[in-house]
Amino acid sequence: MMTNDTIRKLNELKLFGMVHAFSQQIESAVAGHLSFEERVGLMVDHEVTYRDEKRLRRLLTNAKLREPACMEDIDYEAKRGLDRSVMASLALCNWIRHGVNVIVTGATGLGKTWIACALGNQACRHGMTVKFERVPLLLEELAIAHSDGTFRKRIAAIGKHDLLILDDLGINTLTAERRADLLEVVESRSGTKATVVTSQLPVRRWHDYLADGNPTVADAIMDRVVSDSYRIDLVGESLRPKRRRSANS
């Protein structure tokens, strides 16, 4: 009776990890040989683990990463120009804490989005908030936000994430309005929040793409995104045929 009452109270306190650990100890003969301090310690550890896993699930769900990627699964055998030491440094996530950007460029099929999602996954595992956005869709949504009066609210929300992933910069033509919206996005994060940008265009071609007759806006975007950023320039052949073979084997 006392056991049921204890479980009920733990549930009311939302100590669900401790409920599970408490039930396990009751059912396990091994737990009877542990000291009181050890048993309480195990219950507390179980609660911490439960909360950490719950938080990670929530962060990953909210991030909406396009690929189920993680740093441990990065393929260094493919000759893409990836530097292990750079990736190991990025895995520490200090660049996110300091609001530094990462730019991943390369031809289609080299894994730009996958690497960006791996960095996003790592950030979630460090307890940081992440948001994945494809640039073309984001700019469409911001255009609608102008119409319904939610633009400022949307920009403010974008500026709050610890890490923003902007995927596929450069695949669509920018109108003057969308170029200005992109500037608002990067301005909302400049100097305080980190952004990962992926693009098939090499950085040397970004200014021409972003300018289109308005170099002032292009200069502003380049200054906020490219300055003092980590650069990952992928080279080589597409990995997609290799992935298809692996999936079919």
In angstroms, the Cα distances linking 247 to 75, 119, 242 are 15, 23, 9
The residue among 206 and 43 whose pLDDT is bigger is 206
Question: What is the domain range of residue 225?
Answer: 64-236
Mean pLDDT throughout 110-137?
Answer: 97
In a domain, 243, yes or no: no
Among the ranges given (26-35, 42-51, 91-100, 192-201), the one the predictor scored with the smallest mean pLDDT:
26-35
**Domain of residue 84, CATH code:** 3.40.50.300
pLDDT, average across residues 31-54: 77
- pLDDT of 245 > 70? The answer is no
Asked if residue 117 and residue 8 are part of one domain, the reply reads: no
Nearest to 140 by CA among 154, 126, 127: 154
In a domain, 192, yes or no: yes
Confidence bin at 240 (pLDDT 50/70/90): low
The pLDDT assigned to 241 comes to 56
Residue 138 lies in a domain: yes
Whether the predicted model's global pTM rises above the 0.85 cut = no
Residue 146 pLDDT exceeds 70: yes
Query: Encoding tokens for residue 171?
Result: 């695949």
